[in-house]
Amino acid sequence: MSGITSPIALVTGANRGIGRATVEELARRGHDIVLTYRSHADEAAEAVRAVEAEGRRAVALQLDIADAAAIEPFVAALRAALHETWGATTIDALVNNGGMGATTTLGTTSVQVLDELFATHVRGVYLLTQALAAPAEDDPLLADGGSIVNLGTGLTRFVHVGRDAYAAMKGAVGVLTGYWAQELGPRGIRVNTVAPGPVETQFSGWVGDDTLRKVFADATALGRSSVASDIAGVIATLVEPGAAWVTAQRIEASGGYRL
């Protein structure tokens, strides 16, 4: 691990939703945090304050995961932040959470939407993980014995019309999870996917919709709809030492949705 008292986790897209809930849960469990945001710097600052309220340290760094040219300067900024804030050279966990949604159907999907989804959920995740865990030059920023958690989706198991392109990109992330687990395993790095079902967040677009909340609850074995903290708890558990023998897994966190 990083060799300091508190493990450090990097969570992308953590200014709101599942990412925000994840940094707060990790902080409660004793992690310090580096979080990224694409926009809404005010929300990122709120997330930092929430981590600090748990007695942990946090830094927010801007990153557009879809911009391939942004990866190299982000890595440099991360190295600097680790040195300045913690006197550290590595992180202990990477949570690839940042993303975008799109509702499309076959026959109406544009090249632009496909490119944006690919750049965000596949290329961006790949390039960031490569830069942190297996750079061609310099020492890896992800410590030996660390953990990677990729965000997938339950939509790779069940179908919601209009989500085919998004689900396909997340399916690719699931494939990468297995390959990375094999490639990084000799360094003791575990790689897993968490696949949420419907979650009531701004990302999903149905916050406060009682009708949809009931629809999803009625289709869920545990009898209610999901909120961001439900997913955050699973992510945090996979990062911790208690999950040290879990790798290359797709773990669906859906409460038993549409079994």
Helix (H) or strand (E) holding 251: strand 250-253
- Please count the other Cβ atoms lying within 10 Å of the Cβ belonging to residue 84: 10
Distance linking the first and last C-alpha atoms of the chain:
38
Q: What is the mean pLDDT of the chain?
A: 96
Cα gap 123→128, rounded to integer Å: 8
- Please count the other Cβ atoms lying within 10 Å of the Cβ belonging to residue 226: 25
How many Cα atoms occupy the beta-carbon half-sphere of 228 within 13 Å? Answer: 20
pLDDT digits (tens, 9 = 90+) for 37-46: 999 999 999 9
pLDDT digits (tens, 9 = 90+) for 104-145: 999 999 999 999 999 999 999 999 999 999 999 999 999 999
The pLDDT of residue 2: 44
The pLDDT of residue 206: 79
The pLDDT of residue 205: 75
Cα gap 73→86, rounded to integer Å: 20
pLDDT digits (tens, 9 = 90+) for 189-232: 999 999 999 999 988 777 888 999 999 999 999 999 999 999 99
Given a contact cutoff of 8 angstroms between Cβ atoms, the answer to whether 95 and 149 are in contact is yes
Please list the active-site residues: 166
- Place domain 8-253 in its CATH homologous superfamily: NAD(P)-binding Rossmann-like Domain (3.40.50.720)
Whole-structure pTM value: 0.96
pLDDT digits (tens, 9 = 90+) for 141-175: 999 999 999 999 999 999 999 999 999 999 999 99
Type of residue at 125: V
In this prediction, residue 3 has a pLDDT band, given cuts at 50, 70 and 90, of very low
Q: Where are the domains of the chain?
A: 8-253
Cα gap 239→94, rounded to integer Å: 9
Percent of the chain with pLDDT over 90: 93
User: Which residues, listed in sequence order, are joined to residue 36 by a DSSP beta bridge?
Assistant: 61
Percent of the chain with pLDDT over 70: 98
Quickly tell me which residue has 């930092």 as its tokens: 48
> Left if phi > 0, otherwise alpha if psi is -120 to 50, otherwise beta: which for 30?
left
User: Which residues, listed in sequence order, are joined to residue 251 by a DSSP beta bridge?
Assistant: 194
Angle between helices 41-53 and 17-28 (to 10 degrees): 20
The pLDDT of 35-64, averaged and rounded, is 98
Q: Let me know if 245 is exposed, middle or buried by CB neighbors in 10 A (0-12, 13-18, 19+).
A: exposed
pLDDT at 4 over 80: no
DSSP 95-110: EE-------B-TTT--
The pLDDT of 58-82, averaged and rounded, is 98
Tell me which of 4 and 184 has the higher pLDDT.
Answer: 184
Cα gap 222→28, rounded to integer Å: 25
**Interior CA angle at 115 toward 112 and 118, to 5°?**
150
Cα gap 127→68, rounded to integer Å: 7
